[in-house]
Structure formats: C-alpha cells, structure tokens
Amino acid sequence: MMQSMPNSKSSTSNDESYRRLIYSLAENADYRALLIELLAVIHRDGGQYTQLTGLAVSVEDAITRVHDMRLEIQNLFNARKKRGT
C-alpha cells in the first residue's frame, strides 16, 4: 500500500542539507563522476545538460524536477484514492 508522501514545503528544509552534501561530494573526483551520472538520469540525457549549464544549475534543476515528479505521483495517488481504486 502506497503511503502519502511529504509535501514539498516539509522537504524544503532538507534541500539546503542536500545541496551542501552534494557540493562537498563533488569535490572528490570519484563522487563527482557518480553525481554527474545521477544528474544525467534525472535529466534524462547523457550528461549534456550538466555540461551546458554547469554543476550548480544542474543540481538545482534536478531538485526541482524530482519535487515536480513527486508532486505528480502524489496527485495521481490522491486521484485514485478519491475514486476509490
């Protein structure tokens, strides 16, 4: 059974912690390569978006994209719950 997801307001306080962690990991070459691969998955490309915009913009946009996807999933969940399916 799917549980309700936290809204974006409650997760906003964690965003700054995630940003600090991401940027500190990005200083290590091995972690930076993994981060760039993860960003490529989130942006659904081969890393071109991060190359074009830079790491900081790519991270910010990835956070927004993930929040948007989570909101869409929550809306779908709520619609199904409302219909009783």
Residues 46-57 as b or e (16 or more Cβ within 10 Å = b): eeebbeeeebee
Spell out the alpha helix ranges (H) of the chain.
8-26, 29-43, 48-53, 55-83
pTM, 2 dp: 0.68
pLDDT in tens, 23-73: 787 788 888 899 999 999 999 999 999 999 999 999 999 999 999 999 999
pLDDT in tens, 69-78: 999 999 999 9
Confidence (pLDDT) at 22: 77
Confidence (pLDDT) at 75: 96
3-state secondary structure (DSSP) of residue 2: coil
**Distance separating alpha carbons of residues 72 and 28, to the nearest angstrom:** 34
